[in-house]
Structure 1
Amino acid sequence: MNLSFLIRRWNFITGIIFLAILVCGCRNESEQDKEFSEDLRNGIVISMGSSKELEPILYESTEAKLFQKDSVIAFYLERDFKPAWTNINFRNSLIDTLKSAHSQGLYFKDYHGEELEKQLLELSTLDKKELSELDMLLTDAFFKFMDHLYNGKVDPKSVHRIWDVSKKQHSKLKLLEKAVKENNLEIALSQLRPVHPVYKDLIAAEKEYRKLKEDAEDFKKIEKGVKIKPGNQDIRLQEIQFRLLQLGYLKSLKIGGSQYDNETVDAIKKIQEAYGLLADGIIGDKTVDLLNKGYDQRYGQILVNLERWRWFPRDLGSHYILVNIANFKLQVVREKDTISTYKTIVGRVSRKTPIFSEEIDHLIFNPSWTIPPTIKNNDVIPGVRKNLDYLSNKNIQVYNTKGEKLDPSKIDWTKSEVKSFSYRQPPGNSNPLGKVKIMYPNSYLIYLHDTPSQSIFDQNSRAQSSGCIRVENAIDLSKYLLRDQPEYTSELLDSIINRGVIKRIDMKQKVNIHHFYWTAWRENGETIFTDDIYNYDEATLQALKKAS
């Protein structure tokens, strides 16, 4: 054999071997690679760089570019630095989601919006490195959006002195990876967005008031002045009537009228009642402030409340009590149905009812009242120092640290030791806790309770307590909470109350309680606002504007 023949034979054999390897490689191609190849041929996917480009880019100094560099690196590390956004439909669903985020008070620009839009328009001109950077930016944008959608943009503790609702945790890497595998972004979004009906309704309110804000003329400020009572004349009434017409509370406008007529009085009463003011028809400074709130301010209020519902827990429980502090209302909810609603009295501005969640532990019928430290130090002790009869007039007893009852006339009230004493009011008709208190142990010494002062529930504004929540018809609520314990019939509980003996009954069924605060919602297809009694809205709105 000559040399040329051997070379030709060797080339033939190696060619056969190479072809065999190639065929085997094709047969071993993963199902995911086959799908990718098929999608690529059908135009569903487009190359978004490669692991070769992604890995070095991620480890470069990109802190200024990425919001969540550590999470982005961890995500790509788990998937061997393969691009995530190659599927066109999947990628477009993210862009559409971010662009429509304004409906939830979140904005495209906060998630690399301008840069993403620019690069996507120039997609066909990008090289592999630029495509890899784009893939990385899309992931980073979604991670930030995930956090905002799940826990809000603003830290609630930055605008609330007391905020005791635990921050929710989620696995953003696993959620996105699952969504990528299924090419379905909704898999992740459904686990992130609030599901409570109030949040869903606020999205509808955002759309409504965004249009009203854009279409409406600017509100001319109505000046404050002397109170306007029914039948009075005042030059401001024309402006007031026009404002009521703008807001939909008047059907027509009387030209040249400065008389406070019945039709205008009725309109004022309606708007006062709708926003939690005393519906007396008298136009004072608070009513003028209410009339001066334009659609832009109401729109801001909706954004604030969307943010609040992102702060709140997703799972409130299957059976719970929901208190809206701002609206002076308590709802009992079981399996998503509102069983009953009660009026409440909440903490005054100087002694705000805190925002927190707990589980109801027990009820006490005919409770004594151990006066909490704030009331003891700010009200009781100063009251006794001014007048020794203060304690007897209010039926308050004093106990030392050993639990021994003391004679108030033998105490030196100038000494600081009086702050270490316990002050207690026994059960009775004058006891401010009424006939029952509903306990859920917490560090704020807050609970629900009855009250002998039932007439206060007739008032519209009811921020009058020292922090605890007084409930109208609290005895009915307590009977409901014990209905899973058949031995405690309504008749037996009435008998316990009438005997006046202190009786503790532990809960058996699990009922959560949530003290929340929100000032906008929807009812019967209309957006409702209430007075921001603790002035939380403005602070939250300003924090939202600063956050990105």
Structure 2
Amino acid sequence: MLPRHRKLSLSSEKEDHAARHVIEQPHDREFASTARATILLLLKRLHSKRLISLGTVLVIVTVLLAGCQDDSPPPLKRVLDDEVRTYDGARDSVVRRAYVQHEWQPVWLTKDGPTPEARALLRQLCEAPNEGLPRERYNAQGLIDTLRSAYIDPVDDDKAQSDSLRRATLASADIALTRAFLRYANDLSVGRLNPEDVQGTWHVDQDRAATIDVFEQAMQEGVQQTLDDISARHLDYVPLRQAFNRYRQIAQNGGWPTLPSGVTLAPGDSSETVTLLRRRLAATNDLEATASDSAAVATVYDGAVEQAVNHFQRRHGLEINGVVNDATRAALNVSADERARQLALNLERHRWLPENLGQDFIFVNLMDFRLNAFREGEEAMEMPVIVGEKDKQTTAFADTMSYVVFGPYWNIPKSIAIDEILPKVKDDEEYLAQNDYEVVNAAGDVVDASLLSKEALERYDVRLREKPGPGNSLGLVKFMFPNDHDIYLHDTPADHLFDAKTRTFSHGCVRVESPDQFAEFVLPDDWTEEKVREAMNADERKRVRLEKSLPVYLVYLTAWAEPDGAVHFRSDLYNHDDELRRALDEPEQRPKSCAQLDSFLQKLDEAANENDGLLTRVFR
């Protein structure tokens, strides 16, 4: 704030100090030096003649200097403006906000070289394949080349032109580092792809972090800590990533042996093929290496091998019988490279999940045919389930369960009514009565079966439903989380289907093996096992609301890892792995050493020391 108008006497030293206070604001220091001398002379002459007060002089000088200042934006802002015009999307608005918050100063680069956070980011981008992400996506090599131009390339004869070019290059490099961080953090947080774009049967809302907040967290807490926090948000993600890198390393080292086709192996067998089997099981820690190393037992299918085969079968969702049959041999012969790719695809799916699943929730992995119920963050129940047939696939999505219906009707979907039931009704007019079906109007009132037709069903004038009872397709209870997919959990009268290992038998809904136990879990505490069974077997239909809504996640995972390191694989029955692989268009994950990065950073430091004067001038 300028001082009020008043007369005072100043010595030359005080005059010089006052002039400096006003003029050392312009960006051009050479201009500031010339202006200071002129203003000092003006101050002395006017003040000596008592023609004007110092306050008035200061006002005049301030106005003059403001008009003389270089109004062009700082180089960083100018480059940013130029680059943002060529890009679309939210990320560039975040870039702009980031530099506004930092007053258009470089956030990654200094005259002494890249900051420690810039170095951490470069290393993370170099090691992006460890997360199943391609480093090419973040242009890590391009960043290194730009930094080399900014810090290491020789100086041109024209100093002004050289400084201008180097300043612009540094600005571009700083912006490129910001963009790379935002893209990498986003990919790590919510995945490279929008799941609904690539896999139309995945509809699970994500908790998307505000990217400007993530950027600021990195600036305050460090890049490595911020990215580690993102990776560790799910307990299952870290062991899955570790498994991926373990299998990728096995593949890079040549993989594992394969078994000859047509050979069945069982306990008690002895052959050279058993030696191959031992090596194969040891490669994935199903068999302890010491057991496979013993020459005396190398060809014998003994108890240790049988236990290892059982462990392998359990991890792959196969029938556990200790015998290497066709299905087990096929799973053993899938290459390490293919398994690593499968793990990478499921790393992407894990990134699609919300950051916080909740403390109490239901988790159903469709390809494992299994339901897991959690209470206060701990698994409290698990049971087998049945999911949709291959041509009637169960959609992956999330919603909240709000009520339970005992003695439910089955409101038959229009497609099933038209395609499957209506032709049978035309062939047999008693079909509806024999199967406990009835025709109802839009209000839910039972109407005469003669009103049933394809046209009436398509117009929703009428619909079909199955009456409650032990033979009802939904069984004796259903668990409702209203959704656009018309999918829910329910009982089934066809209990024998749970004996199958591959349980794709439904029209899309999820059937649970133990509905009474599941009802006791989701309902209020006063619903005991006895009370649940009474409601299930009662003649009347009963609807019971949950005390609080319960999140339900139906997900599609073909690979996951346990905290103890055990890695599980399942078949891609709906062919979603192939869809995702094509969408990612993943490049070959060839290993590259990060030692080159260390060498480059060392050269960069040396160049920064040698060019200290130049860089000080450029960064001023």
TM-score under structure 1 normalisation? 0.80
1:203 Cα deviation after fit: 1.5
**Separation in structure 1 between the aligned mates of residue 147 and residue 394 of structure 2, nearest angstrom:** 49
Q: 1:422 aligns with which of 449, 463, 477?
A: 463
2:78 maps to a residue whose letter is P
Q: 1:444 aligns with which of 460, 472, 485?
A: 485
CA deviation vs aligned residue, 1:75-127 (integer Å, no higher than 9, x gap): 32343311111472222222222223322212333212002223445664363
Would the aligned equivalents of 1:206 and 1:302 in 2 still touch at CA under 8 Å?
A: yes
1:196-275 maps to which residues of 2 (within 5 A)? 196-217=234-255, 241=277, 271-275=312-316
Alignment correspondent of 1:76:
99
1:328 correspondence with 2:366: no
2:80 maps to a residue whose letter is L
Higher alpha-carbon deviation: 14-23 or 291-300: 14-23
Alignment correspondent of 1:435:
476
1:504 correspondence with 2:531: no
Higher alpha-carbon deviation: 271-280 or 354-363: 271-280
Alignment correspondent of 2:606:
none
Higher alpha-carbon deviation: 421-430 or 239-248: 239-248
Alignment correspondent of 1:296:
337
1:107 maps to a residue whose letter is P
Would the aligned equivalents of 1:322 and 1:514 in 2 still touch at CA under 8 Å?
A: yes
**Separation in structure 2 between the aligned mates of residue 195 and residue 63 of structure 1, nearest angstrom:** 35
1:282 Cα deviation after fit: 7.8
**Separation in structure 2 between the aligned mates of residue 459 and residue 431 of structure 1, nearest angstrom:** 21
1:18 maps to a residue whose letter is D
Alignment correspondent of 2:581:
541
Q: 1:315 aligns with which of 340, 356, 360?
A: 356
1:478 Cα deviation after fit: 0.9
Would the aligned equivalents of 1:201 and 1:522 in 2 still touch at CA under 8 Å?
A: yes
Alignment correspondent of 1:33:
none
**Separation in structure 2 between the aligned mates of residue 386 and residue 272 of structure 1, nearest angstrom:** 46
Alignment correspondent of 2:142:
115
Alignment correspondent of 2:108:
85
2:105 maps to a residue whose letter is K
CA deviation vs aligned residue, 1:373-416 (integer Å, no higher than 9, x gap): 232223222332344443344322222445443554x5676x63
1:198 Cα deviation after fit: 1.2
Q: 1:125 aligns with which of 142, 152, 158?
A: 152
Gaps of 5+ in 2: 1-9, 25-71, 154-165, 589-620
1:153-192 maps to which residues of 2 (within 5 A)? 153-180=192-219, 182=220, 184-185=222-223, 188-189=226-227, 192=230
Alignment correspondent of 2:318:
277
1:491 correspondence with 2:549: no
Q: 2:74 aligns with which of 48, 52, 57?
A: 52
**Separation in structure 2 between the aligned mates of residue 489 and residue 221 of structure 1, nearest angstrom:** 52
1:297 Cα deviation after fit: 0.6
1:508 Cα deviation after fit: 1.5
**Separation in structure 2 between the aligned mates of residue 525 and residue 178 of structure 1, nearest angstrom:** 31
1:526 correspondence with 2:553: no
2:16 maps to a residue whose letter is F
1:55 maps to a residue whose letter is K
Would the aligned equivalents of 2:388 and 2:510 in 1 still touch at CA under 8 Å?
A: yes
2:383 maps to a residue whose letter is Y
1:229 Cα deviation after fit: 9.3
1:138 Cα deviation after fit: 0.7
1:365 Cα deviation after fit: 1.1
**Separation in structure 2 between the aligned mates of residue 417 and residue 480 of structure 1, nearest angstrom:** 41
Higher alpha-carbon deviation: 317-326 or 378-387: 378-387
Q: 1:147 aligns with which of 186, 206, 225?
A: 186
State the number of aligned residues.
507
Would the aligned equivalents of 2:519 and 2:532 in 1 still touch at CA under 8 Å?
A: no
Q: 1:362 aligns with which of 403, 417, 432?
A: 403
1:528 maps to a residue whose letter is H
Query: Tell me, what secondary structure is at the counterpart of 1:322?
Result: strand
**Separation in structure 1 between the aligned mates of residue 20 and residue 221 of structure 2, nearest angstrom:** 30
**Separation in structure 2 between the aligned mates of residue 396 and residue 474 of structure 1, nearest angstrom:** 23
Return closer, same or farther for 1:177/1:194 CA change in 2, 3 Å cut-off. same
**Separation in structure 1 between the aligned mates of residue 425 and residue 412 of structure 2, nearest angstrom:** 14
1:75 maps to a residue whose letter is A
2:465 maps to a residue whose letter is R
**Separation in structure 1 between the aligned mates of residue 21 and residue 520 of structure 2, nearest angstrom:** 77
**Separation in structure 1 between the aligned mates of residue 422 and residue 306 of structure 2, nearest angstrom:** 46
Return closer, same or farther for 1:516/1:529 CA change in 2, 3 Å cut-off. same
**Separation in structure 1 between the aligned mates of residue 265 and residue 225 of structure 2, nearest angstrom:** 58
Return closer, same or farther for 1:69/1:490 CA change in 2, 3 Å cut-off. closer
**Separation in structure 2 between the aligned mates of residue 293 and residue 518 of structure 1, nearest angstrom:** 18
Alignment correspondent of 1:17:
15
**Separation in structure 2 between the aligned mates of residue 92 and residue 229 of structure 1, nearest angstrom:** 53
Alignment correspondent of 1:43:
none
Alignment correspondent of 2:391:
350
CA deviation vs aligned residue, 1:493-514 (integer Å, no higher than 9, x gap): 3322232311101111232111
Return closer, same or farther for 1:80/1:376 CA change in 2, 3 Å cut-off. same
CA deviation vs aligned residue, 1:20-47 (integer Å, no higher than 9, x gap): 6669999xxxxxxxxxxxxxxxxxxxxx
Would the aligned equivalents of 1:326 and 1:533 in 2 still touch at CA under 8 Å?
A: yes
**Separation in structure 2 between the aligned mates of residue 375 and residue 258 of structure 1, nearest angstrom:** 55
CA deviation vs aligned residue, 1:450-493 (integer Å, no higher than 9, x gap): 12222222321112111111112111111121234x3x344333
Query: Tell me, what secondary structure is at the counterpart of 2:357?
Result: coil
**Separation in structure 2 between the aligned mates of residue 433 and residue 206 of structure 1, nearest angstrom:** 40
Return closer, same or farther for 1:262/1:83 CA change in 2, 3 Å cut-off. closer
**Separation in structure 1 between the aligned mates of residue 391 and residue 119 of structure 2, nearest angstrom:** 50
Would the aligned equivalents of 1:222 and 1:240 in 2 still touch at CA under 8 Å?
A: no
1:441 Cα deviation after fit: 0.6
**Separation in structure 2 between the aligned mates of residue 178 and residue 258 of structure 1, nearest angstrom:** 57
Alignment correspondent of 1:39:
none
TM-score under structure 2 normalisation? 0.71
Return closer, same or farther for 1:424/1:140 CA change in 2, 3 Å cut-off. same
Return closer, same or farther for 1:92/1:21 CA change in 2, 3 Å cut-off. farther
Return closer, same or farther for 1:89/1:443 CA change in 2, 3 Å cut-off. same
Alignment correspondent of 1:45:
none
2:493 maps to a residue whose letter is P
1:196 Cα deviation after fit: 1.3
1:540 Cα deviation after fit: 1.2
1:370-409 maps to which residues of 2 (within 5 A)? 370-401=411-442, 403-406=444-447, 408=449
**Separation in structure 2 between the aligned mates of residue 150 and residue 244 of structure 1, nearest angstrom:** 34
**Separation in structure 1 between the aligned mates of residue 544 and residue 178 of structure 2, nearest angstrom:** 53
CA deviation vs aligned residue, 1:316-352 (integer Å, no higher than 9, x gap): 1221111111111111112321111121111111111
1:98 correspondence with 2:120: no
**Separation in structure 2 between the aligned mates of residue 147 and residue 183 of structure 1, nearest angstrom:** 17
Would the aligned equivalents of 1:319 and 1:510 in 2 still touch at CA under 8 Å?
A: no
CA root-mean-square deviation: 3.8
1:243 Cα deviation after fit: 5.2
